[in-house]
């Protein structure tokens, strides 16, 4: 994705005085929703590869979006050539971004000026705050001294795995029962973590990984833990397993198991 020359592309749409005011070169970064390229970084000369099932996110910072347009170039890689072949381009004008967020569908034009496809983009426009944000006025002065705060249930009714027995919750954490119990005893709100299984079912679980106990071939009396990402297991697999926390796994003894709750 690149930027068009503003005077060349937008003179017919915007007054010259508006185009020339406050010139600044936009900053564009790209990220691909996979494990290797998930962080925003400057894009290379020919962009990034678009694989099936992946999402590409562009982050553009500029002074005024109304005086900038976007040029998206498309290439195809050929293993026999060093440079990719140019397929065509698509233009995203400010008039295509009518709302703060939405979907825009644009034609892809070949070098011979024929339509060869269409590009669908999901966009979001974020504007800065109209006033300067500082700490001259804060809620520390706004709150009354008599206000005692809110009661928040951590992981439902409290931690039940890493706490001392005296402070350990009597209901297993991150379960539907724990959330209900926190509400019954007067909690103003509850905090819990939600993950997605492989079949895109939301589940209540604290960590990104689940630990599964494995027996060694030659040492049957010893057990190791295998970490498996929650996103790589289906909901039926998660509910069929006894997933373990790494902390209780001490001295080759399994002292605690966790359960998976489905969000409803």
> How many domains is the chain partitioned into structurally?
2
Domain of residue 247 covers 152-262
Instruction: Examine the fold and report which residue of 87, 109, 124 is the final residue of a domain before the chain moves on.
Output: 124
Please report, in angstroms and rounded to a whole number, the separation of the first and last CA atoms in the chain.
Answer: 40
Between CA 206 and CA 173 the distance in angstroms is: 9
Q: How far apart are CA 153 and CA 204, in angstroms?
A: 15
Task: Label residue 225 exposed, middle or buried (CB < 10 Å: 0-12, 13-18, 19+).
Answer: middle
Residues 181 and 90 in one domain: no
Same domain, 9 and 109: yes
CB atoms within 10 A of CB 11: 12
User: In this structure, are 14 and 117 located in the same domain?
Assistant: yes
Beta carbons of 231 and 195 less than 8 angstroms apart: yes
From first to last of the 264 residues of the chain, give the pLDDT tens digit: 654 444 444 444 444 444 455 546 788 899 998 888 889 999 888 888 888 888 899 999 888 888 888 999 999 887 777 788 899 999 999 999 888 899 999 999 999 999 999 999 999 999 888 887 776 666 666 666 677 778 888 877 777 666 565 666 677 777 888 888 888 888 888 888 888 888 989 988 878 888 777 776 666 566 677 788 888 889 888 888 765 555 444 443 334 445 455 544
Spatial distance between the Cα atoms of 150 and 162, rounded to a whole number of angstroms: 24
């Amino acid at each position: 994705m690149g930027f068009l020359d503003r005077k060349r592309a937008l003179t017919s749409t915007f007054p010259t005085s508006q185009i020339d005011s406050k010139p600044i070169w936009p900053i564009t970064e790209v990220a691909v929703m996979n494990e290797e390229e998930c962080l925003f970084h400057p894009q290379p000369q020919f962009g990034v590869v678009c694989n099936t099932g992946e999402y590409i996110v562009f982050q553009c910072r500029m002074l005024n979006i109304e005086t900038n347009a976007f040029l998206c170039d498309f290439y195809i890689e050929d293993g026999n050539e060093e440079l990719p072949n140019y397929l065509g381009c698509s233009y995203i004008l400010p008039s295509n971004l009518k709302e703060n967020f939405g979907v825009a569908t644009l034609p892809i034009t070949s070098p011979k000026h024929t339509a060869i496809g269409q590009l669908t983009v999901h966009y979001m426009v974020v504007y800065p705050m109209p006033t300067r944000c500082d700490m001259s006025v804060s809620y520390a002065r706004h709150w009354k001294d008599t206000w005692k705060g809110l009661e928040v249930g951590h992981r439902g009714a409290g931690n039940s795995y890493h706490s001392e027995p005296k402070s350990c919750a009597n209901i297993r954490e991150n379960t539907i029962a724990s959330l209900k119990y926190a509400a019954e005893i007067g909690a103003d709100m509850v905090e819990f973590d939600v993950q997605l299984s492989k079949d895109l079912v939301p589940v209540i679980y604290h960590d990104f990984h689940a630990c599964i106990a494995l027996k060694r071939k030659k040492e049957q009396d010893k057990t190791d833990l295998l970490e498996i990402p929650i996103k790589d297991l289906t909901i039926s697999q998660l509910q069929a397993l006894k997933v373990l926390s790494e902390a209780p796994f001490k001295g080759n003894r399994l002292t605690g198991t966790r359960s998976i709750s489905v969000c409803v």
